[in-house]
Amino acid sequence: MDLLDQIYNAGVVGAGGAGFPTHVKLNCKVEYLILNGSECEPLIATDKYLMRTKAAEIIETLERIAGMIEAKKIVIGLKQKYTTEIDCLKSAIKELKSKIELHCLDNFYPAGDEQILVYEITGKTIPPAGIPLHVGAVVSNVGTVVNIHEALYGNPVISSYVSVLGEVSNPRILKVPIGTPILNCIEKAGGATLNDYSIILGGPMMGKILNKSELEHSVITKTNGAIIIVPDNHYLVNRDKISIEHIINRAKSACIQCSYCTEFCPRYLIGHPLQPHKIMRAIALSEYDDSIKAAQLCCECGVCELYACPMGLSPRQVNIYIKNELREKGYRYKNTGNEFYVREVRENRKIPTKRLMARVDVTKYSGQKLEELKEIFVSTVKIPLRQHIGKSATSLVNVGDIVEKGQLIGSVEKGELGANVHASINGKVVEVSECVVIQSENMEVEV
Ligand code: SF4
Ligand code: SF4
């Protein structure tokens, strides 16, 4: 069986983003294979943990992938400050006589944005609305490569590595079965230290904010790598509560057209025609000219609203609103230029992570030392049949079926954009809807 089939069978999807099916992404021939090890968002430590503890597996797997896609250069992009991880990777490279290179980056945000990383490593700007393939590159996340390594041995994706930190008693990294309730993860990290809390699923800049009642129905999927528990009145939680109507009204009344949002926008700085201040002006004046179409180029990194804007406005939310409107109308951004030039000021506009953390009020969690891995076992999992971009998997099980850990319970055809789904625990299927709920006969156990 070839590697692409093994990846497809195992249901591997991008572990760090929206969950693009990996067997589709790697069905290409490119010059560069890039491992994104720069853990873009502040506080998250999952990829660092994997690079420290699974360096040899990562190097070996990257070599296998590069062989398949005929990549001539294999580069791991990570931050210069990750000295332990750099040492681990260097020893694995030496031991395995690999030619993989490390590209060390400063500690800035968003170093791990795929387009920024590709520019940093190759010196090429991906065209607006394009993907790394357009400049001969493919980018994989660390968790994805670890899952591909498992796939080489016939092991499907049935667990996620998750950093749990913030307002918990024992911040730590957990390995949890897919479909585990998030509340169980919080409990396994010693429980929340506050009564009134919300969580950020993902990083502080781009993560999804969930309040306690939303949490009751939320589970870990293949794309989750971090849970940050914050007070219910945290700055980021309060911002998340503002309605889009209010955001647009504030854009109309308070935007001073200083253009800082544009001057710091990472996509603008690599040469894309995205100028959020013009979009804010267009929405304020209700003049929907061509400038608003560039909202589709926004990667939602949050720099404009959480770092740049002196008025506390939300260009990112405005862009999301416009993107949704344009999508509903069936409009897709069309790239009209051929070459894109990085703005000269870019180097001086990189945002230091330390300063960013202070702006979004998470500095107090940056000193937390995450305890090493704890693998947890749970008695019930709720496994979504769609944890990825594309088509939902079709359930292969019925209520009452007994399933084994690793068994295929949802499938997609190989040529389709989607991913297979597997049982993450042994047990009985008690519900089949958009999710498959499996209940173990045993009580919850842990090691
Ligand atoms: S969120 Fe703001 S800063 Fe980030 S890409 Fe979009 S417009 Fe630019
Ligand atoms: S930074 Fe804020 S005030 Fe300045 S142009 Fe952008 S949205 Fe308007």
For the structural domain made of 158-234+361-376, what CATH number should be given?
A: 3.10.20.600
**Could you report the per-residue pLDDT of 375-403, keeping only the tens digit for each?**
999 999 999 999 888 899 999 999 999 99
Out of 34-48, 133-147, 429-443, the most confident range is 133-147
Average pLDDT over residues 34-57: 93
For residue 70, report the distance from its CA to the centre of ligand 2, in Å: 45
Task: Map out the domains of the chain as residue ranges.
Answer: 3-152, 158-234+361-376, 244-356, 380-447
Alpha-carbon torsion (115, 47, 370, 198), positive or negative: positive
**Average pLDDT of the chain, as a whole number:** 94
List all residues 6 or more positions away from 169 whose beta carbon is below 8 Å from its beta carbon: 189, 190, 191, 193
Average pLDDT over residues 408-418: 93
**Could you report the per-residue pLDDT of 93-124, keeping only the tens digit for each?**
999 999 999 999 999 999 999 999 999 999 99
21 preceded by a cis bond (ω within 30 of 0):
no
Question: Residues enclosing ligand 1, CB less than 6 A?
Answer: 265-267, 274, 276, 298-304, 315-316, 319
Give the ligand 1 atom nearest the CA of 302.
1
For ligand 1, mutation pick of 275, 304, 333, 351 (most atoms within 8 Å of CB) = 304
Q: How confident is the model at residue 447 (pLDDT cuts 50, 70, 90)?
A: very low
For residue 32, report the distance from its CA to the centre of ligand 1, in Å: 26
CATH topology of domain 380-447: OB fold (Dihydrolipoamide Acetyltransferase, E2P) (2.40.50)
For residue 301, report the distance from its CA to the centre of ligand 2, in Å: 16
List all residues 6 or more positions away from 28 whose beta carbon is below 8 Å from its beta carbon: 69, 133, 138
The CATH homologous superfamily to which domain 3-152 belongs is: NADH-ubiquinone oxidoreductase 51kDa subunit (3.40.50.11540)
Q: How confident is the model at residue 414 (pLDDT cuts 50, 70, 90)?
A: confident
Question: Which segments within 8-61 are labelled E, that is strand?
Answer: 32-37
Torsion of CA 160, 158, 92, 50, to 10 degrees: 10
The reply to whether domains 3-152 and 158-234+361-376 share a CATH topology is no
Question: How many degrees, rounded to 5, is the angle at CA 73 between CA 70 and CA 75?
Answer: 125
- Runs of H (alpha helix) within 82-153: 83-95, 114-122, 142-152
For ligand 2, mutation pick of 247, 274, 307, 311 (most atoms within 8 Å of CB) = 311
Is pLDDT at 333 greater than 80 in this prediction? yes
Among all bound ligands, the one having the nearest atom to the CA of 280 is 2
Average pLDDT over residues 311-332: 93
Assess whether the C-beta atom of 257 lies below 6 angstroms from ligand 2. Answer: yes
List phi, psi (to 5°) of 126. Answer: -70, 135
Please give the residue that has the higher pLDDT: either 51 or 373: 51
Dump the DSSP string for 401-442. -EE-TT-EEEE--TTSSB--EE-SSSEEEEEESSEEEEE-SS
Q: How far out from the chain centre does Cα 72 lie?
A: 26
Assess whether the C-beta atom of 281 lies below 6 angstroms from ligand 2. Answer: no
Average pLDDT over residues 193-201: 96
Give the ligand 1 atom nearest the CA of 303.
3
Q: CA 246, CA 446: separation in Å to the nearest integer?
A: 47
pLDDT at 344: 92
The conformation of residue 304, written as its DSSP 8-state character, comes to I
**Could you report the per-residue pLDDT of 256-315, keeping only the tens digit for each?**
999 999 999 999 999 999 999 999 999 988 877 777 889 999 999 999 999 999 999 999
381, two tokens: 């999992």
Assess whether the C-beta atom of 210 lies below 6 angstroms from ligand 2. Answer: no
Q: How confident is the model at residue 341 (pLDDT cuts 50, 70, 90)?
A: confident
110 preceded by a cis bond (ω within 30 of 0):
yes
pLDDT at 405: 97
Assess whether the C-beta atom of 311 lies below 6 angstroms from ligand 2. Answer: yes
99, two tokens: 């030619």
For residue 184, report the distance from its CA to the centre of ligand 2, in Å: 41
Average pLDDT over residues 228-247: 96
Q: CA 300, CA 324: separation in Å to the nearest integer?
A: 13
Assess whether the C-beta atom of 256 lies below 6 angstroms from ligand 2. Answer: yes
Q: How far out from the chain centre does Cα 10 lie?
A: 20
Give the ligand 1 atom nearest the CA of 268.
8
Q: How far is CA 276 from CA 119, 129, 215, 314, 388, in A?
A: 21, 16, 33, 10, 29
Q: Which of 73, 90, 86 is nearest to 38 (CA)?
A: 86
Q: How confident is the model at residue 78 (pLDDT cuts 50, 70, 90)?
A: very high
pLDDT at 17: 75
pLDDT at 308: 97
pLDDT at 132: 96
Q: CA-based diameter of the chain, in Å? A: 63
**Could you report the per-residue pLDDT of 142-190, keeping only the tens digit for each?**
999 999 999 999 999 999 999 999 999 999 999 999 999 999 999 999 9
357, two tokens: 């953390």
Strand order in the sheet with 137-141: 101-105, 73-79, 32-37, 137-141
Is pLDDT at 446 greater than 70 in this prediction? no
Any idea which residue has 């914050």 for tokens?
A: 230
For residue 319, report the distance from its CA to the centre of ligand 1, in Å: 8
